[in-house]
Amino acid sequence: MKDRVQLLHTAKQLNYKTFSRKNILEKLQTAIAFCLLIISIIPITFILVYVLIKGGTQLSIDIITQLPEPPGDDLLSAGGIGNSIIGTIIVTTIASVISVPIGIGGGIYLAEYSSGGLFSRFIRFGTNVLAGVPSIIAGVFIYGIIVSTKLIYGSNYSALAGSLALSILMLPTIIKTTDEGLKLVSDDLRRGALGIGASKFITITRITLPAAFSTIATGILLSVARAAGETAPLIFTALFSFYWPQGNEILLEPIASLSVLIYNFALEPYEAQNELAWAASFILVMMLLALNIIARRIGKLTMDNKSN
Amino acid sequence: MIKENPLPKKIKRQNSSLILENVSISYQQNLAVRNVFLKIPKKRVTALIGPSGCGKSTVLRSINRMNDLIVGCSLKGRVLFEGTDIYSPKIDPVEVRRRIGMVFQQPNPFPKSIYENIAFGAKINGFNGDMDFLVEESLRKAAVWEECKDKLNESGYSLSGGQQQRLCIARTIAVKPDVILMDEPCSALDPISTLKIEETIHELKKNFTIIIVTHNMQQALRVSDYTAFFNAEKDEDNMGGKVGYLVEFNLTKEIFNSPVQALTKDYVTGKFG
Amino acid sequence: MASMVAIVLIGILAFIFYGSLESMARFGFKYLITSGWNPVSDEYGAFTAIYGTIITSLAALTISLPIGIATAIFITEDILPRKVNEFIGLMVELLAAIPSVVLGLWAIFVMEPFLRPFLILLNQTFSWLPFFGTEPRGPGMAPAIIILSIMILPIITSISRDSLNQVPKKLREASYGIGATRWTTIFHIILPAAISGITGGALLALGRAMGETMAVTMVIGNSFNFSWSLLAPGNTISAMLANQFGEADGSQISSLMYAALILMILTLSVNIFANWLVKRISLKY
Ligand SMILES: Nc1ncnc2c1ncn2[C@@H]1O[C@H](COP(=O)(O)OP(=O)(O)OP(=O)(O)O)[C@@H](O)[C@H]1O
Ligand SMILES: [Mg+2]
């Protein structure tokens, strides 16, 4: 009899009590967290939907291949974004050409040559600091030393100036990923190569760099994607242009870009220009997503290789 | 080979704290342990032994529903705690873990002070008595009071590994459970700390039902009253994976002196595992 | 080549400092506490922009911190099926990949019109509070705050997620093992163990919010008239730079440089502190 009572007692204690303070609190907290989670994915959902619908639906051969029309000229059409697409590609490519070699070089120095002394600590610190510099500041800096002084062959606003501003933003990311990618390469590999008499330079270029290739490539692609979407550093360096980039001084003239087009045309009071800004957003977002996906693919590749 | 589990007849239902009835546990699709029948006696120490990977930890963790934390882990059969099926949908796993505490293989004190380590569990379980007294009592029962009494406000990590493990035992005791599960509590410790913990276990069995997983045969012999021997074998139904099962369960001295199964004999005499 | 970093960094600092000397000499400390931007009479004061920079970034952080941390908790705690968690993680990363000018476009044409009725309601109910004291008429600090909080959400979520994942599994087990509930475990064990990483992430996000330019300049209204109200048009330092710098000349340039210097000091100190915190936790485990 006593045992029976004891048994029932235990069962009661262990039962899930839906209305106990503890369990209601648990449920409540989970519900609140769930609501916050939903809130956090609402914006991106709507942003994607709008970019896809408002931008995607307007897409046509004309829009991709034509030049933009200055606001107010034609109330029905704002032309196309052909030169902006090419401009974005040119400016980002030049920025990469400038920042990738310097960034990889700097990363190699930090990971392979520096002895962890004061100088390399300072450079690592500086890299972090530079990564936190607001992008508009890079624009101000390049404007001040290149555009306003007409430093480069007397030209002021130019594609080159825009590229330089972007490269300042790309540099820290590339240095960091190179540094970190190389540090992940096992020391055995290095010792193996050095052990068979390879010089340090050969070891790095033939062994360590290839081993860290995909980490570095991922980092570079992500920084390219970020640069291609930047606007602030371009608005008073590369400026904008309503014409195709042409002639042999392309880099010394102002150049159009998707992001600056979106900025300029979004603020125009004309609907046609606003619509074109949406179309440009669609193209820009697609380009960046493609870059991101490729970057992640490459990143995944290494993980798979390493686990094999 | 005989596959039925010889249960010690001496353990009556009323005297058992826990009863496992035909328990099988799987991770995702893979069966890890199958068809375990066990009666764990009250206020005794029961040891689970067996070669690595035979599912001792898996069985142990199923007893206080710790396996719930592992995504994809599922259990068939019944686990009765004082007559109540703890896997019935009516049951609150949190309440189960309050009554059936656990000490882990690696000492895992909270990143809090020694005092807080003990008080935390009691507080969340609604304890509102004299906390200082409870802390001292629990530390004394776990035999670390002497080492801790002068540094109750220091971090739990300031203790040695063995002391940390006894702190974890004290933390479990403070919640006043009925059963304490220990998964290789001494495997990370030196021999002296191990002995101290074994002494602690001897003390504890006056008030608690204890189940301990151990790799150390001598330890099983020293601390336990009953022993369950598990083994793992290849199972064709399970894509050739290994599945654990209970070979034999009996009084510890029977298991070590006159085991029924040949396999048990081989294992306790060190022929394999 | 590594020294390029140092050259560029020191170059930027020196250039901005040198550029702002003239304005500093003329306005000194008064520049920081007066509002008004008048190229005709050559009188400049950046208080509106400094207030805007600080208040928008802090408000944005206040909004997105709970959302980001809750999201991170939800996807690290296996409350939902793993596939759903991965999907949410992907959405967060997608958001990080959207350029800020596109967010600005969306904010102008979709978000701000959608928000306006709510902001009007806010004004009507709380008009006695200085923060909500003006009637919203389109662009203003409030839309800027919302778009900023959307922008920094991915940083907070992903750094919180990483810090939560770094909390050793055995701590979680220990807590469940003594009968703690899920949220007791989260609040008393897991969050305290991850707190310095999360704080670091929050500070990095704050630094980002302070320096963010495009989306903000597109919706904030770019007004130099000071108002406490978040519903009124305002300005931030970076928005001011984006708007004025291209056309500025003479002493206005120097005054803009002075503002840029203040922005640099703000973001750099926040960033350096954040990096220090993040590094401290990565050493601990
Ligand atoms: N979290 C898990 N997910 C998937 N499979 C698991 C998990 N934990 C254990 N297993 C599998 O279950 C089987 C039993 O593991 P368990 O840890 O219970 O063995 P054990 O007897 O405790 O071994 P040991 O003595 O090494 O601790 C093993 O085959 C193992 O691979
Ligand atoms: Mg085990």
Rounded CA separation C15/B169 (Å): 63
Mutation test of the interface with chain A: which of B92, B96, B99, B125, choosing the one with the most A Cβ atoms within 10 A?
B92
Task: Examine the pLDDT at B110 and tell me if it is beyond 70.
Answer: yes
pTM: 0.89
B240 CB-near residues (< 8 Å, 6+ apart): B234
Specify the ligand 1 atom closest to the Cα of B30.
5
- Choose between C84 and A14: higher pLDDT: C84
Give C46's DSSP letter: E
What pLDDT is recorded for position A3?
55
Q: Is the dihedral of CA C244, C245, C249, C252 positive or negative?
A: positive
Residue at B4 is within a domain: no
Tokens 């600091």 found at: A129
3-state secondary structure of C44: strand
Provide the greatest CA pair distance for chain C: 72
What pLDDT is recorded for position A299?
79
- pLDDT per residue over B7-40, tens digit each? 555 667 677 889 999 999 999 888 999 999 999 9
C178 close to B (CB below 8 A): yes
The nearest CA of chain A is from the CA of C284 a distance in Å of 19
What pLDDT is recorded for position B56?
93
Residue at B76 is within a domain: yes
What is the SS3 string spanning chain B? Answer: CCCCCCCCCCCCCCCEEEEEEEEEEEECCEEEEEEEEEEEECCCEEEEECCCCCCHHHHHHHHCCHHHHCCCEEEEEEEEECCEECCCCCECHHHHHHHEEEECCCCCCCCCEHHHHHHHHHHHCCCCCCHHHHHHHHHHHCCCHHHHCCCCCCEHHHCCHHHHHHHHHHHHHHCCCCEEEEECCCCCCCHHHHHHHHHHHHHHCCCCEEEEECCCHHHHHHHCCEEEEEEEEECHHHCCCEEEEEEEEEEHHHHHHCCCCHHHHHHHCCCCC
What pLDDT is recorded for position C33?
84
The nearest CA of chain B is from the CA of C185 a distance in Å of 10
C170 close to B (CB below 8 A): yes
Task: Examine the pLDDT at C176 and tell me if it is beyond 90.
Answer: yes
Q: Is the ipTM of this complex over 0.85?
A: yes
- Rounded to the nearest 5°, which phi and psi values hold at C108? -65, -50
Tokens 């990889």 found at: A104
Number of domains in chain B: 1
Chain B residue closest in CA terms to A16: B92
Chain C residue closest in CA terms to A147: C246
Specify the ligand 1 atom closest to the Cα of B70.
1
Residue at B169 is within a domain: yes
User: What is the band of B187 on the pLDDT scale with cuts at 50, 70, 90?
Assistant: confident
What pLDDT is recorded for position A15?
82
Q: C50-239+270-284 adopts what CATH topology?
A: MetI-like fold (1.10.3720)
What pLDDT is recorded for position B11?
67
Highest mean pLDDT among A110-124, B11-25, B138-152, C55-69: C55-69
What pLDDT is recorded for position C285?
41
Of B223, B225, B241, B222, residue with least CA distance to B233: B241
Specify the ligand 1 atom closest to the Cα of B105.
27
Chain A, 243 to 282: residues with Cβ < 8 Å from chain C are 259, 262-263, 266-267, 274, 277-278, 281
User: What is the band of B192 on the pLDDT scale with cuts at 50, 70, 90?
Assistant: confident
CA B214 – ligand 2 centroid, Å:
9
Nearest to B108 among C170, C181, C184 (CB): C170
User: What is the band of C281 on the pLDDT scale with cuts at 50, 70, 90?
Assistant: low
The nearest CA of chain B is from the CA of C192 a distance in Å of 9
The nearest CA of chain C is from the CA of A104 a distance in Å of 9
- pLDDT per residue over A47-66, tens digit each? 999 999 999 998 888 888 88
Residue at B205 is within a domain: yes
User: What is the band of A82 on the pLDDT scale with cuts at 50, 70, 90?
Assistant: very high
- Give B-chain residues touching A2 at CB under 8 angstroms: none
Give the burial string for A231-249 (b: 16+ CB within 10 Å, else e).
bbbbbbbbbbbeeebeeee
Domain that holds residue B87: 13-268
C206 CB-near residues (< 8 Å, 6+ apart): C57, C58, C61, C152, C270, C274
Specify the ligand 1 atom closest to the Cα of B50.
21
A37 close to B (CB below 8 A): no
- Give C-chain residues touching B168 at CB under 8 angstroms: 174
**Cβ-defined contact of B94 to C180 (cutoff 8 Å):** yes
Task: Examine the pLDDT at B222 and tell me if it is beyond 80.
Answer: yes
Q: CB atoms < 10 A from the CB of A187, how many?
A: 9
Average pLDDT on A89-107 reads 95
Residue at B71 is within a domain: yes
CA C170 – ligand 2 centroid, Å:
14
The nearest CA of chain A is from the CA of B95 a distance in Å of 5
- Give A-chain residues touching B209 at CB under 8 angstroms: none
User: What's the token pair of residue A176?
Assistant: 């960091």
Task: Examine the pLDDT at B5 and tell me if it is beyond 60.
Answer: no
Q: Of A85-89, A279-283, B26-30, C141-145, which range is least confident? A: B26-30
Contact B213, B48 (CB under 8 A): yes
**Cβ-defined contact of B95 to A15 (cutoff 8 Å):** yes
User: What is the band of A304 on the pLDDT scale with cuts at 50, 70, 90?
Assistant: low
A91 close to C (CB below 8 A): no
3-state secondary structure of C170: helix
- pLDDT per residue over C199-220, tens digit each? 999 999 999 999 999 999 999 9
The CATH number linked to B152 is: 3.40.50.300
Task: Examine the pLDDT at B3 and tell me if it is beyond 50.
Answer: no
- pLDDT per residue over B258-267, tens digit each? 888 989 988 8
The protein residue whose alpha carbon is closest to atom 11 in ligand 1 is B32
- pLDDT per residue over A178-206, tens digit each? 999 998 888 888 888 888 888 888 888 88
Give the burial string for C99-133 (b: 16+ CB within 10 Å, else e).
bbbbbbbbbbbebbeebbeebeebbeeeeeeebbb
β partners of residue B85: B80
Q: Which ligand is nearest to the CA of B216?
A: 1
Rounded CA separation A21/A30 (Å): 14
Chain C, 54 to 73: residues with Cβ < 8 Å from chain A are 66-68, 70-71, 73
Mutation test of the interface with chain B: which of A12, A14, A19, A29, choosing the one with the most B Cβ atoms within 10 A?
A14
Q: Of A126-130, A248-252, C170-174, C257-261, which range is least confident? A: A248-252
> What percent of chain B stands above pLDDT 90?
58
**Cβ-defined contact of B97 to C178 (cutoff 8 Å):** yes
Q: Is the dihedral of CA B126, B131, B135, B138 positive or negative?
A: negative
- Choose between B162 and C68: higher pLDDT: C68
Chain B residue closest in CA terms to C192: B111
> What percent of chain A stands above pLDDT 90?
51
> What percent of chain C stands above pLDDT 70?
98
The protein residue whose alpha carbon is closest to atom 17 in ligand 1 is B57
- Give B-chain residues touching A13 at CB under 8 angstroms: 95, 99
**Cβ-defined contact of B94 to C179 (cutoff 8 Å):** yes
What pLDDT is recorded for position B237?
67
- Residue spans of the domains in chain C: they are 50-239+270-284
Average pLDDT on C61-74 reads 96
Contact B164, B158 (CB under 8 A): no
User: What is the band of A113 on the pLDDT scale with cuts at 50, 70, 90?
Assistant: confident
Task: Examine the pLDDT at B205 and tell me if it is beyond 80.
Answer: yes
What pLDDT is recorded for position B240?
64
Residue at B2 is within a domain: no
- Enumerate residues lining ligand 1, CB below 6 A: B 27, 32, 52-58, 70, 242, 244
What's the mean per-residue pLDDT of chain A? 87
**Cβ-defined contact of A14 to B84 (cutoff 8 Å):** yes
**Cβ-defined contact of C19 to A41 (cutoff 8 Å):** no
